[in-house]
């Protein structure tokens, strides 16, 4: 099993939005970055655990955990000219972009802020806190995952 972290701007889609979604499940659409695409298309497997992180908000924080319930499939929002995430480069016969489905496991009783993550020596190697990191889907180690879950509980 692998462990991941995904970012979302809560103004766009928050963990509470996920909690309100049908079956507390959503498709993780709109990722338009090749490295993140590769992770979703090739490496995320059913049952993998995912830290849900709120970016571009005050304070930025890990706010809960989810799991992968459907493995990589074409991001259909790329095919729709009326969709915000439309990308004419992506064709149905050769999709450029992929997504997965994630289901909420739980919202943390206590959000783990970016500041707290930075201050924890066990978490100093996370991609999240490395300089200039902009990846919206990234792998984390089991140790990092467990530590963040512990801090959020």
The least distance separating DNA from the CB of residue 96, rounded to whole angstroms, comes to 9
The residue within the footprint of DNA, chosen from 105, 114, 116, 122 (CB under 7 A), is: 114
Counting residues that bind DNA (by CB under 7 A) gives 20
Burial call 13-35: b when 16+ CB within 10 Å, e when fewer: bbbeebeeeeeeebebbbbbeee
3-state secondary structure (DSSP) of residue 129: helix
- Sign, Cα dihedral of 41, 44, 13, 135: negative
**Radius of gyration (C-alpha) of the chain in whole angstroms:** 15
Does 7 bind DNA (CB under 7 A)? Our answer is yes
What are phi and psi for residue 89, nearest 5 degrees? -70, -25
3-state secondary structure (DSSP) of residue 34: helix
Does 55 bind DNA (CB under 7 A)? Our answer is yes
The nearer residue to DNA, 89 or 124, going by C-beta atoms, is 89
| Per-residue binding letters, 34-53, with DNA (x by CB under 7 A) | xx------------------
Q: Are 52 and 145 in contact (CB under 8 A)?
A: no
The least distance separating DNA from the CB of residue 9, rounded to whole angstroms, comes to 7
The nearer residue to DNA, 69 or 79, going by C-beta atoms, is 79
Residue ranges in contact with DNA by CB under 7 A: 7, 9, 32-35, 55-58, 60, 89, 114-115, 131-136
């Amino acid at each position: 099993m692998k462990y991941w972290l995904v970012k979302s701007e809560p103004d766009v889609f928050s963990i509470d939005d996920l909690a309100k979604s049908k079956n507390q499940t959503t498709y993780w659409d709109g990722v338009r970055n090749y490295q993140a695409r590769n992770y979703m298309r090739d490496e995320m497997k059913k049952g993998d655990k995912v830290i849900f992180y709120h970016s571009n908000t005050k304070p930025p924080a890990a706010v809960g955990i989810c799991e992968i319930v459907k493995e990589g499939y074409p991001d259909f929002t790329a095919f729709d000219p009326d969709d915000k995430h439309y990308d004419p480069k992506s064709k149905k016969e050769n999709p450029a972009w992929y997504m997965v489905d994630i289901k909420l496991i739980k919202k943390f009783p206590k959000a783990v802020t970016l500041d707290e993550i930075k201050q924890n020596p066990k978490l100093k190697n996370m991609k999240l806190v490395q300089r200039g990191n902009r990846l919206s889907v990234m792998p984390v180690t089991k140790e990092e995952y467990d530590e963040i879950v512990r801090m959020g509980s």
